[in-house]
Structure formats: C-alpha cells, structure tokens
Structure 1
Amino acid sequence: MATPDFSQLGGSADAEKRSFWSRPEGVLGMITLAGVAGLGLVYFNRIVEFLIRATSNILELALLLGALGVLIFLFTSRDVRTAVFFLFKSLMRSLTGTVIQLNPIAIMKIYIQDLKEKREKMQGQINILAGQQVKLNKKINENNDTIKQKFAEANKANSLSDKPGMRETAQLATIEGAGLQEMNEKLLPLQRNMKNVLAFMEKVNQSADYIIKETEIKVRLKETEYQIVKDSSNALKTAVSIFKGDPDKKFYFDQSMEYIQDDMSMKLGEMKRAMDLSMDFINGVDIQNGVLSDKGDALLEAYNKGEFKMVQLDAPAQPVNLGPNPQKDAGYKNLLD
C-alpha cells in the first residue's frame, strides 16, 4: 500500500498563512495604491478644490433646505399666519391713525371729492342708458311702422293673388312683419327694464346729491368746531405755559438765573474783600492824618507862643525868639524833644 504524500497540503496551508501583501495579488494591490497615490499627488490641488466646492455646495444646499423648511412652516402654521395677520393689521391701523391725525379734515374732504367723482360717473352712465332707451324706443316704433307697411303690402298682394308671384310676395311680407313683431315683443321687456333702471338711477342720483350736500355741511361744521377747539386749546396751553413754562426754555432760564446769582455772589464777595482792604488803608490814613493833625495843632500852638524852631541848613538849629518869655521857649523845647 502506497504512503500518502502530504507535502502539497502543507504548502497550501503555508500559502494561506502568508499575509495579503506577500501574495501576488497583494503586490499588485500595492502597485495600484502607489499609482493612485501618485495620481493623488499630481492632481492634489484639483481634488482639494473639488472637495471644497462639494462641501460648500452641500452647506448651501443645507441652508436653502433649512430656509425652505422655515418658509413652509410659516405658511402652513395657523398660529404664525394669525400672528402675522394681526401684526400687519395693527401696523396698517397705526399708519392709518397717523395719517388721520395729521389732517383729519383733509381726509374728510377727500372722501367728499370721491363721492362727487362717483356721482359724476353715475350721471354719465345714466346719460348712456337714457340714450340707449331712446334708441330702443325708436327701434320699436320703426319696427311697428315697418310691420304696418308689410301687412299693407301683404293685403295688397293678396288682393292681386291671381297675378303670378303675388302670393309669394304676400307671404314674404307677412313673414317679415311677424319677425319684426317678435323682435318688438322681445325688445319691450328690455325697454321696460331699462326704464325701471333709469328711474332707480335717477332716484339714486338725487339721493347721492342730497348725501353729498349733507356731508359737506357736516364737514364744514366739524371744520369750524375743530378750528375753534384747536384755537381754544392753544390759548389754554399758552395760559398754562405761563405758570408751568416751557421745559426747554425754562431750563435755559433757570440756568441763566443761576449763573447771574453765582456771578453776583462772586462780584459781591470781591467788592466786600476790596472794601475790607480799603477800610484798613483808610483807617491807617485816618490815623496818620489824626496824628499829623494833632502834631500840626501842637506846632501851631508853639508857633503862636513863639516856641517854634525852624530847621536851618548848614547851621545848628537855633530857637526862634519871638518874645521875651523864657518859659515859652523852654516849653517848646521840651515839646520838640
């Protein structure tokens, strides 16, 4: 019996144990990856630009889809629609109120002018209907005259029926007369309806004229009342402003008053200080004048007594002897000493 050869089985097991990269397909895979890496390096900038564009496009798409979703939510949400409607209504009411407050009388006059324009337009339509009614009446009368003429022709042709063609002429005349009669029968309801419409339009025109005149009187009255009230209110505001004062103007008035008070206080302080300094000088002068005055009186008295000694230049001072009284001379000398 032959011994089995297991060498090939072991080789297959060793081949299976080898890694992928050590196999022939692994080598081919490394070459392919190297080629892809090389291409990636060559076209690296283009690939990066493509990725950036793709990313930005995805972000833009996401933002657009988000905005679209928000809009869909806003349009489909009943609460949001109600809130937007009331917000719009409030805004329009505020704007309307602002316009009305600017000049309410002018708005009322514009309304009257609009009524007058509508009345003029209605009068033009009345004139058109009246013209159509005249045409319709004329058409019915013309048809009646034609009917009479056709029936007369039919009677005449019937009287001459023995002549060739007269029967056909009479039949044709009666057909035309019957057709015109049928037309008049259809036109007559239209004429009556138009007549009723014209009568109604005339009444509306008269009522509109009355309403416009009444509204004009009301507006003139309101304008007069409003002007009187405004003048009275302005007069009262002027009277109240005398007591309360305009806040802006009163601010400047108070500031001016405060400045004047501060300036007066500073100047009065300066004057008091100057007067204090002047009084010290004046008192000193008065004292000196008093001393000099006393000394002058004493010298005058000594002079009258003959005891005054004059100052002599380049010589010793000598007493002036004005009399034979030695006691006066001694007293004067003591006073000088």
Structure 2
Amino acid sequence: MATPDFSQIGGNTESDKKSFWSRPEGIFGMIVLAAIAGFGFLHLNDILEFLIRATSNILELSLLLGALGVLIFLFTSKDVRTAVFFLFKSLMRSITGTVIQLNPIAIMKIYVQDLKDKRQKMQGQIDTLAGQLVKLNKKINENNESIKQKFAEANKASSLSDRPGMKEQAQLATIEGAGLQEMNEKLAPLQRNMKMVLAFMEKVNQSADYIIKETEIKVRLKETEYQIVKESSNALKTAVSIFKGDPDKRFYFDESMEYIQDDMSKKLGEMKRAMDLSMDFINGVDIQNGVLSDKGQALLEAYNKGEFGLIQTDTNAAPNPITAPQPGQINPPKDAGYRNLLD
C-alpha cells in the first residue's frame, strides 16, 4: 500500500520556505526572548529605581547616556543587527542540536506521540462532524414532514375555501411549506459538503493510522539499529583500549613494572655480591682441605714405610707436686697449680 500524498491539502507548500521563527530553533528563540521580557517586566521597579539613581549623578548619567548611545547605534546599524541576529540563530540552533543529541530516540517517540494525539483530536472532530450531519439530516427530514403536513393543511383549507378564513389559512400553510422547502434546498448542498468532508476525514484518519504505524515501525527499527551500533561501538572501544590502554591505569602499570624491574635488579646484585664474598671463603676452605689432604697423604706414606711415630704418654709418672693434692687437703686452692709459676 503506497503512502497517500497529502502535500496538496491546503495548497502547495513545497515552494513556501519556513522562516526562522517557524522552525524549532526559532520557537525556542521566541521562548528565550519571552523569558527575557518577562524577567525585565518582573524587575521593572528595580530598573526604574536604578535609572532614577543614575540620573541623580552626573558621571553615572554620562555613562548611562553613552551606553544608551551605543545601544541606539547597535540597534540602528543594519550590519550589527544582521550579525546579532545570525549569532542568535546560531546559538539557538546549537542549543536545539544539543537537545537532539542528548536522546534522539526519545525525540522521535515524542513526535510519534504527538501524531497520535493529533489523530485522536481529529477523531473527536470526525465524531462532532458526524453528529452535526445527523442533526442536519434529522432537520431535513423534519422539514419534509412539516412540508407534507402544511401542504395537506393547505389542500384541506382550499377544499373549504367557501368558509370564512379558510382561504387565508390555506395561503399561510402554503407559505410555510414553501419556506421549509426553500430551507431544505439550502441545507441540501451543506449536507452534501458535510458528507464529502466526513468521507475525506475518514480517509485521512485511515491514512494517518497507517502513517503513524509506519512511523512507529521506523522508530523501533532506528532504536534497534542505534542500540546495536552503540553496543558495537562500545565493544570496539573496549577492544581498542586493550591495545592503547587506559592512560591512568597504564601509568600505574608502567610504574609497577619499573618497580619490579628495579627490585629484581637490586636483589640480583645482592645475590651476586653474596656469592662473590662466599667464594673467597669457599676457596680458602678448598685450599685448607687440599693442604690437609696432602699432609694426610704424606703421613699415610710414612706410616706405610714404618717411619710414622705415634706420640706416647707416660702413665707411670709421679704426680706433679704442684697440682697433686696434699694429704689432709680436701679442696686445694684454685691457683695452686700456677701460684709459684713465675717465682
């Protein structure tokens, strides 16, 4: 089913360009200007008080007149007005664009809801128009019944025209019937127009329902696509961040790596120094073991040749008079063995 073309309704608007004030940024600009005007109106007393106080001082009055002259020049200069207007338009457009960028899907849904509200309003108007058409049809039918009744009364009165007043009554009934007929003749075109408008409104309602459903499908599709693209973009950013790394986290990682490298170098240096110091001791022990081994080998050879002499102890020797305990002395003095050593 092709989308109906309603561009010709109410005239051709394709060639009519929208002015700035009819665009979204223009509407927002009018709201801003209205807010500024309202603020000025609310603080009008403060502004007047400032002006009165400023005019009481010559210096302040001079500055005020100078500022007023500058403002008059700015307002009367076409170039300045054009520049300010374009600056204002750019600012309003930037703010509107920022609002759109915050949540474009929500704005699209608001637009769809606005279409639904307008369709509901149009349905109410269709119901009202249908009610008026029913009233009009009822009025025409009532007039037809009244016409029949009046013409019947006129015929009855004409048949009794020989009676007094019947002729006038017949004329009155005929006039009333003719008036009702004339009313119906004028109401008939209105009835046809109302039927045409009502039929057209019904078609517009059906087309609007189709357009709204199609727009809803587009919004849901765009929402899904936008969500998928956002998730894909976030996933891609995460993947890229693996290679690039977070700057702050990367800094701490590099610092930790450098600390570990320095600590390992320090500990390896300490281990090398400890090994160097222990090598001197190990070499000395090896040399001493070698000397003892050579000496032991020489003693072994002497022993095998019978040239090795063992050290003998004299077990029958008399006790040392210095160290031997005296009879009757239980505990000799501790220095008894070396008391007279130097005498």
The question of a shared fold, defined as TM-score above 0.5 by the shorter chain, is answered with yes
1:156 and 1:266 map into 2 onto residues whose CA distance is 135
1:75 and 1:105 map into 2 onto residues whose CA distance is 41
Q: Which residue of 2 aligns with 1:146?
A: 146
Query: Secondary structure in 2 aligned to 1:162?
Result: coil
Query: Secondary structure in 1 aligned to 2:164?
Result: coil
Answer yes or no: is 1:69 the counterpart of 2:72.
Answer: no
Q: Give the 5 Å matches for 1:121-140.
A: 121-140=121-140
1:182 and 1:270 map into 2 onto residues whose CA distance is 124
Deviation at 1:163, TM superposition (A): 2.5
Q: Tell me: CA distance 1:68–1:178, structure 2 relative to 1, closer, same or farther (3 Å).
A: farther
Identify which range, 110-119 or 53-62, moves more after superposition: 53-62
2:91 and 2:73 map into 1 onto residues whose CA distance is 23
Aligned-CA RMSD value: 3.4
> 5+ unaligned residues in a row in structure 1: which ranges?
1-52, 316-337
2:94 and 2:100 map into 1 onto residues whose CA distance is 10
Whether the 8 Å contact between 2:54 and 2:61 is mirrored in structure 1 is no
Q: Residue type matched to 2:308 in 1?
A: K
Whether the 8 Å contact between 2:147 and 2:177 is mirrored in structure 1 is yes
Q: Tell me: CA distance 1:122–1:55, structure 2 relative to 1, closer, same or farther (3 Å).
A: closer
In the superposition, the TM-score normalised over structure 1's length comes to 0.65
Higher Rg of the two aligned structures: 1
Deviation at 1:121, TM superposition (A): 1.0
> 5+ unaligned residues in a row in structure 2: which ranges?
1-52, 314-319, 322-343
1:102 and 1:170 map into 2 onto residues whose CA distance is 80
Identify which range, 150-159 or 126-135, moves more after superposition: 150-159
Q: Which residue of 2 aligns with 1:47?
A: none
Identify which range, 115-124 or 264-273, moves more after superposition: 264-273
- Between structures 1 and 2, the one with greater helix share: 1
1:231 and 1:174 map into 2 onto residues whose CA distance is 83
2:267 and 2:251 map into 1 onto residues whose CA distance is 24
The alignment of Structure 1 onto Structure 2 pairs a total of residues equal to: 261
2:170 and 2:59 map into 1 onto residues whose CA distance is 92
Identity rate, percent: 88
In the superposition, the TM-score normalised over structure 2's length comes to 0.64
1:302 and 1:89 map into 2 onto residues whose CA distance is 120
Q: Give the 5 Å matches for 1:231-310.
A: 231-284=231-284, 305-306=308-309, 308=311
Q: Which residue of 2 aligns with 1:228?
A: 228
2:297 and 2:72 map into 1 onto residues whose CA distance is 121
Higher relative contact order, structure no. (Cα contacts within 8 Å, ≥ 6 residues apart): 2
Whether the 8 Å contact between 2:154 and 2:170 is mirrored in structure 1 is yes
1:83 and 1:293 map into 2 onto residues whose CA distance is 109
Q: Tell me: CA distance 1:293–1:98, structure 2 relative to 1, closer, same or farther (3 Å).
A: farther
